[in-house]
Amino acid sequence: MDQLWVPILTHYRGGSVDPDRMGMHMRSLQPHVRSVLVAGSTGDGWDLDARGFDEALEVLRDAEAFSSQVEVLIGLLQPSTERVLARLDQVTAFLGRTAIAARIVGVAVCPPVDGDIDQAGIVRHFMAVIDASPWPVSLYQLPQVTGCSLEPKTVSALARHRNVAMFKDSSGADLVALADDDYGDLLLVRGAEGSYAAHLRPQGRYHGWLLSTGNAFAAPLRDILRAHADGRSAHAADISRRLGPDIDRLFADAATVPFGNAFSNANRAADHILAYGSAGWRNVEPPETISGLPLPIHLLETADRIISEHIETIRSGYLR
């Protein structure tokens, strides 16, 4: 699998999901991105209702955006085992109506949203999904939402199952990756931002990343991976040092927006600049969020300044 996974944005128009706009966005990422997560946290997977989830899956019909070279994970982000299984049934039904099932390499599942659950309960939750899923399951660590965490020994035990392929950790604590437990062939990807090069193997503990910022900063992230693979560790570290603080600044500004989530809002703002260009983004309406509200201008201005530091943008943008 590729080292850069991107949880793609879900775009909206007139209060509904806009698969056509999602496809345009995906085509803009193709020079740098070959592995994506649909309906992840950044794609509002926790907040999409059943209809919105089906609408988001419609983007997978876009054969130009999702060619046979693109690997696709689908997020099953729901608060309980029963609702995760219901969403799995929804994916199965959708794919049964299409000819695109071969592009799906797995589903991503979090623990239940339950701050009191123990590790045995988390294992029961995952095993119910693993046993029901026709696709490999990716374990998704997101305590910021679920209120609970997979412990290293739990991940090690689940990793022995042949239908478990990946572990993504967005906690920022990296406790699973730093533990000495045996995870076998499990692919470890980091979902937290910052110190990008330092966390890559062999110096770090991760095989790669699954990063929301790949929606807009895929080019510098890919540059880090190339430099790392070529043994140019100093160059990879330099890009990381320059990119990390600016990403922090973008997310800090996004966190002040009183609706939506910062992952989605920050990357939606940055994508808007790339879509319409530094010379044109002010001439179109700000992007719509899942709430129906547009992003504030201050966040778009922050995104514009940061993008200009890291990406050679086309003044007209990819939609012009």
Residue 146: which of 112, 186, 188 has the closest Cα? Answer: 112
Proportion of the chain above pLDDT 90, given as a percent: 90
Rounded mean pLDDT of 29-38? 95
CATH of 4-310, picked from 2.102.10.10, 3.40.50.10190, 3.40.50.150, 3.20.20.70, is: 3.20.20.70
Per-residue model confidence as pLDDT tens digits over 108-134:
999 999 999 999 999 999 999 999 999
- The one-letter amino acid code at 189 reads V
Percent of the chain, pLDDT > 70? 98
Mean pLDDT for the chain? 95
User: What would the mean pLDDT of 51-73 be, rounded to a whole number?
Assistant: 92
Residue 199: the pLDDT is 97
Yes or no: say if 135 and 104 are a contact pair by the CB < 8 Å rule.
Answer: yes
Mean pLDDT of 87-100: 87
Q: What are 119's two structure tokens?
A: 């590790």
pLDDT band for position 320 (cuts 50, 70, 90) = confident
What's the confidence (pLDDT) of residue 313? Answer: 60
Q: What's the average model confidence in pLDDT over 42-64?
A: 95
Q: 141 pLDDT band (50/70/90 cuts)? A: very high
Residues 166-203 pLDDT 10s: 999 999 999 999 998 999 999 999 999 999 999 999 99
Distance CA 53, CA 39 (A): 7
pLDDT at 253 over 80: yes
Q: Select from 303, 212, 194 the least CA-distant residue to 253.
A: 303
Residue 172, token pair as written in the block: 């920022």
pLDDT of res. 314: 64
Residue with tokens 């992840």: 40
- Residue among 110, 135, 104, 132 nearest 40 (CA): 110
